[in-house]
Structure 1
């Protein structure tokens, strides 16, 4: 049999705990979804060559961001491109 424990907590403290928990969950979700992948990680993910990845970029099939002289890819955008069949993996 499962028992319940009831404790008295001021409403302000209860609301504060809920806000902290929601912020933590949303923050973790944003970190996971917005992870940036390097070109090497994308090539490994799709088992493709540098040339193929460059062609996908040139053809607009895969969105990318340039930071300084390095190219990065949003994990969510890469997965969306795969889901909408803009890019087809050779082998997964």
Structure 2
């Protein structure tokens, strides 16, 4: 049996706010699949600062310099730990 589809018109900003809220909730709850042993480690700004041993201004500057990938939805910023570490390691190798 086919599921019914409802189409409604909403302003773009409202849609973006709702999507950002839903993504933020998923990120804060640990994502969709908490049972996957290969699940990505997604960190908040504070967690990433501690992990890298750097200050908030340094983290912000590195983000603006595109030293590593990050996820941003609205004002919420998150970091995939594996991708950040891989990116920093690659940049370190290139500078040698």
TM-score normalized by structure 1?
0.55
Whole-Å separation in 2 of the counterparts to 1:52 and 1:69: 18
Q: Which of residues 81, 84, 96 is equivalent to 1:75?
A: 81
Where 1:85 maps in the other structure, the secondary structure is helix
Work out whether residues 42 and 80 of structure 2, in 8 Å CA contact, stay in contact via their aligned partners in 1.
yes
Gaps of 5+ in 1: 1-26, 87-92
RMSD of aligned C-alpha atoms? 1.5
Q: Distance in 2 between matches of 1:69 and 1:48?
A: 20
- Which residue number corresponds to residue 50 of structure 1? 56
> Which residue of structure 2 aligns with residue 60 of structure 1?
66
Q: Relative contact order, CA 8 A, sep 6+: which one is greater? A: 1
The structure 1 segments of at least 4 consecutive aligned residues displaced by more than 2 Å after TM superposition are none
Matched ranges for 1:29-48 at <5 A? 29=38, 31=39, 34-48=40-54
- When the two structures are aligned, how many residues end up with a matched partner? 57
> What is aligned with 1:22?
none
TM-score by length of 2: 0.53
Runs of 5+ in structure 2 lacking a partner? 1-35
CA deviation profile, 1:16-50 (whole Å, cap 9, x unmatched): xxxxxxxxxxx311x1xx12111111111111111
Structure 2 residue 34 is the aligned partner of structure 1 residue 28: no
